Amino acid sequence: MSEDFSKIMIEQVGRLFEKQVSKDVLTAADSGEWQEGLWEAVSEAGLPHAMVAEASGGLGLAPADAMSLMRRMGYHALPLPLAETMVANHLWVEAGGSLLDGPTTFAPVTADDRIAIAFNREGATLNGTIGHVPWGGDVRHLVIFARDEKGVGYLAHVERDTVGTNQRRRNVAYEPRDNLQLDRIDVPLNAVLKAPDTLGGDGLLSYVAAIRVQQMVGGMERALDYALTYANERVQFGRPIGKFQAIQHMLAVAAGHFAAASAAADAMGESDIFAGDRFAIAVAKSRCGEAAGHVAAVCHQVHGAMGFTHEHALHFVTRRLWSWRDEGGSESYWQEWIGRNVCAMGGEALWPSITGFR
Amino acid sequence: MQAFRFEALSLPPEAQAMRKKVRAFLQDERSHNRFAAHRSSWSTFDAEFSRRAAAAGFVGMTWPKQYGGGEYSNLERFVVTEEMLAAGAPAGAHWIADRQSGPQILKHGSERARATILPKIAAGECYFGIGMSEPDSGSDLAAVRTKATRVDGGWTINGSKIWTSNAHRVHYLIVLARTSPLDQDRHAGLTQFIVATDSKGIQIRPILNMAGGHEFNEVFFKDVFVPDDMVMGQPGEGWKHVTGELAFERAGPDRFMSDIRLLVSLIDKVGAEPSERQAIAVGRCVAHFSALRRMSASIAGLLERGERPITEAALVKDVGTAFEREIPEMVRSLVPSESSLDDEDEFSQALAHVLLHAPSFTLRGGTPEILRGMIARGLGLR
Ligand SMILES: Cc1cc2nc3c(=O)[nH]c(=O)nc-3n(C[C@H](O)[C@H](O)[C@H](O)COP(=O)(O)OP(=O)(O)OC[C@H]3O[C@@H](n4cnc5c(N)ncnc54)[C@H](O)[C@@H]3O)c2cc1C
């Protein structure tokens, strides 16, 4: 897809979200209702397959543009597994599979969950539990990363209906994050593909991290938009509260966090995350996670009691910011990852590696 | 929230080539033990180092060849700057002249000023100081009272400046003075002058800093004559020049790399197998650092295109210096150290050095309180 066209498309999708992701939709989604109308709208636009090459039937959106699209999803708090579906299809088709139709998610997405795969004459069997699967109870397909007894990694396509549910659960944004049980799930051989070598020890975790990074940048932008508008409108002591230096400074600091987080997320967007560049993901996830906490806190403070109501829409993004910073590895998870790598190389290697990374 | 521009930037191949060149130069400097990386920085004044750096082509890099420059891009200069900082090079002698005075002269100076001064800066032989602050004019820079009065062939300056870094060892100061009386608009009637420090009527008194070092000074001007061709631009343009200059001053990697050598020492100190807490803290620093580096590079890109990203520069400085201030606190929480400048241990020395200088990181070049006011204006709150 040409660069110009991608830009136009991202803008159009932004308008679609603006129109369709209303407060009513968000409130209904909060109660666990699947938003079929919204899903149909994004499907009509071809978005579920946006990251699949045109030759394979997708839109051929470059990863960096897909990342911009995910920011728009974050900005509007889109209550659908759209980013998950995009990435799952990308992984599956790149590995040699064909397009999966309908909402799709991928797993495991936590640091500890492991799925075992064993081959037999007819196919393969998957075993294990996977926690906190995004929309695990709502999707049609799962793309599962599993290892055989020799440690070789595979991607397996599993129909959601064949999998058991241990617990339906929600993050603090009330987005579904379900615990699933793969109890001797048999899959045919043509539903198992060799995983790319770039998938490391924590499997698909870094892809959730990458998605949440972009969503957080979008979410922070929205929260700041709300706060800036409110600061200019709300009058106390005879003037808009935005005229008070204390409020100005709080928001300036939040804007600094936002700018730094965006810079880290941009760097990640340009890096080749699907070729295994985990450093950019680690930097972006830890920097954005830290910023998200600060930005959410400041935006609530600026809104006073109004921001603590269900009526005001601020919480739709701040609750997501609090959830997303934990998912796909929290700040400390990725900071530790960076720290261990950097320390292993020694002090003098710090600078060459920082510049080498970008 | 689309208030700020931090566009994507990838360094062009020539910038990467420049990186190799400056690394080789710095490697050579270090292999000859010419400086102590763990206790020097961009404010360490070492004229010999500056001459060697200039001879190798690393001073006045972006200026026209006609004035001794190298006609390199801002991005090549950016790379050299960050490499100098990363190496802990004592670049203080030429830093100000290279970073802001030279570019100002190139833009607003007379032809004689350009022709006589710039080649000397680029040769690493001519250094500058900034004469902005006064006893009653710190954050409130527009309150300067130092006065310049028209005389035959030029101006005479009367008044005083304070906190003037390196005034006692530089050749020129760029002095901000009032050239017409304060009326309603405080920003009008200010003008910048290039003043030679050996001019008649200048008196320089040292002010020791809290670490006992002599870096800044008080400077008194009594009927100091400045010829017309040492005026920057037209009289009355001073405020515009000063705010433009700050974009160069505020957004560079010197605003978040002052204590990079301490970070290097820390990594060696905790070793290849750090505790979880140590690894997390080091990782967090690297993440912050990488984000800042990208923001700063992106501003170098905007400057290269001739833009004046003043608010973005303020933002980089605010985020960057806050980070610099945090580092010594973090370091001492990770490794027990009763740091001392007298210890043999490089880590202990580096920590002591940073602790003793950290308070200045968030003062020089404008305080966070002032920067945040500018950012808030950019956000539409003022
Ligand atoms: C190491 C060092 C080197 C320096 N070198 C130079 C130099 O070479 N040339 C030069 O001209 N200057 C130099 N300075 C001076 C520097 O620019 C000033 O220190 C700085 O601008 C702050 O001014 P001030 O120290 O007078 O503090 P003040 O302006 O008096 O401020 C004191 C405190 O009050 C706060 N404050 C002030 N106004 C407001 C406001 N409106 N709202 C909220 N808070 C406010 C400040 O943020 C600060 O925390 C140097 C300073 C240092 C520390």
Mapped onto helix, strand or coil, the DSSP state of residue B207 is strand
The verdict on A219 and A346 lying in the same domain is yes
**How far away is chain A from the Cα of B28, in angstroms, using its nearest Cα?**
16
CA B325 / ligand 1 centre spacing (Å): 16
Contact status of B274 with chain A (Cβ, < 8 Å): yes
Test A264 with B290 for CB contact under 8 angstroms.
yes
The verdict on B139 and B218 lying in the same domain is yes
Residue B3 has pLDDT above 70, yes or no: no
The verdict on A218 and A314 lying in the same domain is yes
The verdict on B259 and B232 lying in the same domain is no
- Cis amide prior to A108 (ω within 30 degrees): yes
Q: Which of B126, B145, B176 is the last residue of a domain?
A: B126
Sequence-distant (≥ 6) Cβ neighbours of residue B196 within 8 angstroms: B171, B172
Residue of B nearest to A344 (CA): B272
Contact status of A156 with chain B (Cβ, < 8 Å): no
**Contact indicator for B86, B260 with CB cutoff of 8 Å:** yes
* Separation of alpha carbons B368 and A270, rounded Å: 31
The verdict on A83 and A30 lying in the same domain is yes
pLDDT at residue A275, rounded to an integer: 85
The verdict on A229 and A349 lying in the same domain is yes
Q: Which residue range is the domain that position A65 belongs to?
A: 3-101
Q: Which residue range is the domain that position B314 belongs to?
A: 252-378
Contact status of B292 with chain A (Cβ, < 8 Å): yes
| Structural domain total, chain B | 3
Mean pLDDT (chain B) is 94
Q: From A138, A130, A134, A214, select the one nearest A170 (Cα to Cα).
A: A134
pLDDT at residue A235, rounded to an integer: 98
Test B283 with A287 for CB contact under 8 angstroms.
no
In a domain, B244, yes or no: no
In a domain, B7, yes or no: no
Q: What is the mean pLDDT of residues B87-113?
A: 96
Q: Which of B201, B236, B271 is the last residue of a domain?
A: B236
Tens of pLDDT along B7-22? 777 788 999 999 999 9
B366 Cβ closer than 6 Å to some ligand 1 atom: yes
Domain with residue A33: its CATH number is 1.10.540.10
Burial (CB count <10 Å: 0-12, 13-18, 19+), residue B181: exposed
Domain with residue B90: its CATH number is 1.10.540.10
Residue B288 has pLDDT above 90, yes or no: yes
The verdict on A241 and A320 lying in the same domain is yes
* Separation of alpha carbons A86 and B270, rounded Å: 41
The verdict on A322 and A223 lying in the same domain is yes
Q: Which of B193, B210, B236 is the last residue of a domain?
A: B236
ipTM of the complex: 0.94
pLDDT at residue B205, rounded to an integer: 98
Q: Which residues of B touch A348 (CB under 8 A)?
A: 264
Domain with residue A264: its CATH number is 1.20.140.10
**Contact indicator for A117, A148 with CB cutoff of 8 Å:** yes
The verdict on B112 and B137 lying in the same domain is no
The verdict on A112 and A89 lying in the same domain is no
3 state SS for chain A: CCHHHHHHHHHHHHHHHHHHCCHHHHHHHHCCCCCHHHHHHHHHCCHHHCCCCHHHCCCCCCHHHHHHHHHHHHHCCCCCCHHHHHHHHHHHHHCCCCCCCCCEEEECCCCCCCCEEEECCCEEEEEEEEEEEECCCCCCEEEEEEECCCCCEEEEEEEHHHCEEEECCECCCCCEEEEEEEEEEEEEHHHEEECCCCCCCCCCHHHHHHHHHHHHHHHHHHHHHHHHHHHHHCEECCEEHHHCHHHHHHHHHHHHHHHHHHHHHHHHHHCCHHHCCHHHHHHHHHHHHHHHHHHHHHHHHHHHHHHHCCCCCHHHHHHHHHHHCCCCCCHHHHHHHHHHHHHHHCHHHHHHHHHHHC
The verdict on B352 and B262 lying in the same domain is yes
Q: Which of A142, A166, A194 is the last residue of a domain?
A: A194
Mapped onto helix, strand or coil, the DSSP state of residue B248 is helix
Tens of pLDDT along B124-174? 999 999 999 999 999 999 999 999 999 999 999 999 999 999 999 999 999
The verdict on B195 and B268 lying in the same domain is no
Residue nearest to atom 30 of ligand 1 (CA): B138
The verdict on A60 and A140 lying in the same domain is no
The verdict on B191 and B209 lying in the same domain is yes
In a domain, A199, yes or no: no
pLDDT at residue B307, rounded to an integer: 86
The verdict on B100 and B135 lying in the same domain is no
* Separation of alpha carbons B248 and B103, rounded Å: 9
Q: Which of A137, A172, A194 is the last residue of a domain?
A: A194
The best mutation among B141, B241, B367 to test binding of ligand 1, ranked by most ligand atoms within 8 Å of the C-beta, falls on B367
Domain with residue B315: its CATH number is 1.20.140.10
The verdict on B296 and B346 lying in the same domain is yes
- Within 13 A of B59's CA, how many CA atoms are on the CB side? 30
Mapped onto helix, strand or coil, the DSSP state of residue B251 is coil
Domain with residue B192: its CATH number is 2.40.110.10
The verdict on B321 and B215 lying in the same domain is no
| Residue in the structure block whose two tokens are 């595979």 | A154
The verdict on A220 and A157 lying in the same domain is no
| Residue in the structure block whose two tokens are 């082509």 | B57
CA distances from A352 to A107, A285, A347, B94 (A): 35, 22, 10, 25
Predicted TM-score of the model (pTM): 0.95
Tokens of residue B292, six digits: 């800042």
In a domain, B246, yes or no: no
In a domain, B265, yes or no: yes
Give B39's pLDDT tier (boundaries 50, 70, 90).
confident
Probe site for chain B from A234, A247, A249 (most B CB atoms < 10 A): A249
Domain with residue A186: its CATH number is 2.40.110.10
Tell me the pLDDT of chain A (358 aa) as tens digits. 777 888 899 999 999 999 999 999 999 999 999 999 999 999 999 999 999 999 999 999 998 899 999 999 999 999 999 999 999 999 999 999 999 999 999 999 998 999 999 999 989 999 999 999 999 999 999 999 999 999 999 999 999 999 998 899 999 999 999 999 999 999 999 999 999 988 877 889 999 999 999 999 999 999 999 999 999 999 999 999 999 999 999 999 999 999 999 999 999 998 888 888 899 999 999 999 999 999 999 999 999 999 999 999 999 999 999 999 999 999 999 999 999 999 999 999 999 888 875 4
The verdict on A243 and A330 lying in the same domain is yes
In a domain, B245, yes or no: no
pLDDT at residue A6, rounded to an integer: 87
Residue of A nearest to B287 (CA): A283
In a domain, A8, yes or no: yes
The verdict on B164 and B264 lying in the same domain is no
The verdict on A326 and A218 lying in the same domain is yes
Give B266's pLDDT tier (boundaries 50, 70, 90).
very high
Please work out, in degrees rounded to the nearest 5, the angle formed at the alpha carbon of residue A265 by the alpha carbons of A260 and A268.
130
Tens of pLDDT along B181-195? 877 788 999 999 999
The verdict on A38 and A179 lying in the same domain is no
Residue B111 has pLDDT above 80, yes or no: yes
DSSP B268: H
CA distances from B113 to A113, B89, B121 (A): 69, 29, 12
Residue B314 has pLDDT above 90, yes or no: yes
The verdict on B223 and B308 lying in the same domain is no
**How far away is chain B from the Cα of A107, in angstroms, using its nearest Cα?**
26
In a domain, A68, yes or no: yes
Residue B31 has pLDDT above 90, yes or no: yes
| Structural domain total, chain A | 3
pLDDT at residue A358, rounded to an integer: 43
Dihedral angle of Cα B371, B376, B378, B381, to the nearest 10 degrees: -150
**How far away is chain A from the Cα of B332, in angstroms, using its nearest Cα?**
17
The verdict on B372 and B257 lying in the same domain is yes
In a domain, A200, yes or no: no
* Separation of alpha carbons B178 and A1, rounded Å: 58
In a domain, A345, yes or no: yes
B27 Cβ closer than 6 Å to some ligand 1 atom: no
